[in-house]
Copies of this chain bind each other. A is one copy, B any other.
Amino acid sequence: MCAYQVIEGHIAKPQGYQATGIYSGIKKVEKLDLGLILSEVPAASAAVYTTNLFQAPPCHVTRESLEKEGKLQAVVVNSGNANACTGSKGVDDAKMMQHLVSQSFGVPKDYVAVASTGVIGQFLPMDCIEEGILQLPKALNNESAPLFSQSIMTTDLIEKTVCVELPIDGKKVTIAGTAKGSGMIEPNMATMLGFITTDVKIEQSYLQKLLRKATDTTFNMITVDGDTSTNDMVVLMANGMAENNELNEQHPEEKEFYQALLYVMQELAKKIARDGEGATKLIEVEVTGAPSVEAARQVAKSVIGSSLVKTAVFGADANWGRILCAVGYSSAPIQADKLDVFLGSIQVVEASFPIPFSEEEAYAYLQGDTVKIGIHLNEGEYQAIAWGCDLTYDYVKINAHYRT
Kindly state the separation between the CA atoms of A109 and B168 in the bound complex, as whole angstroms. Answer: 74
Partner of A228, one of B120, B329, B336: B329
Contact with B along A302-316 (1 / 0, CB 8 A): 000111100110110
Kindly state the separation between the CA atoms of A307 and B401 in the bound complex, as whole angstroms. Answer: 13
At the interface with chain B, which of A172-180, A182-190, A261-269? A182-190
At the interface with chain B, which of A18-26, A50-58, A203-211? A50-58
Give every chain B residue within 8 A of A184 (Cβ-Cβ): 308, 322, 325
Given contacts A120-B322, A307-B225, contact A396 B396 (CB under 8 A): yes
Name A50-92 residues within 8 Å CB distance of B.
51-55, 82, 84-87
Give every chain B residue within 8 A of A319 (Cβ-Cβ): 120, 402-403
What is the total number of residues of chain A having a CB less than 8 Å from a CB of chain B?
62
Contact A328 B230 (CB under 8 A): yes
Contact A402 B317 (CB under 8 A): yes
Q: Per DSSP, are chain A's interface residues mostly helix, strand or loop, or mixed?
A: loop
Tell me the nearest residue of chain B to A326, going by C-beta. B227
* Minimum C-beta distance from A321 to chain B (A): 3
Contact with B along A179-203 (1 / 0, CB 8 A): 0000110101000000000000000
The complex is assembled from copies of this chain, and their number is 2
* Minimum C-beta distance from A301 to chain B (A): 12
Give every chain B residue within 8 A of A404 (Cβ-Cβ): 315, 317
Partner of A314, one of B120, B230, B396: B396
Contact A227 B396 (CB under 8 A): no
Give every chain B residue within 8 A of A308 (Cβ-Cβ): 183-184, 225, 227, 399
Contact B391 A85 (CB under 8 A): no
Contact B312 A119 (CB under 8 A): no
Contact B306 A226 (CB under 8 A): yes
Contact B227 A321 (CB under 8 A): no
* Minimum C-beta distance from A392 to chain B (A): 6
Give every chain B residue within 8 A of A336 (Cβ-Cβ): 53-54
Give every chain B residue within 8 A of A393 (Cβ-Cβ): 393, 396-397
* Minimum C-beta distance from A29 to chain B (A): 19
Contact B400 A314 (CB under 8 A): yes
The 6 closest A-B pairs by CB, nearest first: A120-B321, A315-B400, A311-B399, A228-B329, A53-B328, A54-B328
